[in-house]
A = this chain, B = another copy of it.
């Protein structure tokens, strides 16, 4: 699996927030309902994202979380890095520590290119772009397709 489940859930919920109108907070309960993700698990994931500065949270009624930046300014890479870390984009395909230009494994050259391709794709893609595409083409971001773009 390329990304952990926590990371995938983090991406889906970030996408959800990017599609929300206005700059108010969205409650985690609503997100967990709409996206069909365990409330408590999602809470922990979003805590990581707020810890990383990508979201900010607010307690109490009318509380919830929201993006700290405009969706157009948040790349998927930032979210992945915040949850799964950057190891995927630096590690050796054969799992050898310290593999790099100086001390490569036989697969290093080829894998480095592929790896950069993954990173660039994530860096090149922002939340707003995906939210607008999803809204325009009515694409799903949940398993059952129950989510309606806002």
For this chain, the copies found in one complex come to 2
CB-based contact A141/B5 at 8 Å:
no
Q: Is the CB of B130 within 8 A of A15?
A: no
Q: Report which of B2, B96, B130 forms a contact with A143, defined as CB distance below 8 A.
A: B96
B91 touches A142 (CB 8 A): no
Kindly state whether residue A118 has any CB partner on chain B within 8 Å. yes
Chain B residue at minimum C-beta to C-beta distance from A125: B110
Q: Which of A23-31, A59-67, A132-140 contacts B (4 or more CB under 8 A)?
A: A132-140
Given A118-B114, A118-B118, are A140 and B105 also a contact pair (CB < 8 Å)?
yes
A-B contact pairs, 12 of them (CB 8 A): A3-B93, A8-B93, A8-B95, A12-B95, A15-B106, A96-B140, A105-B140, A106-B131, A106-B137, A110-B124, A113-B121, A114-B121
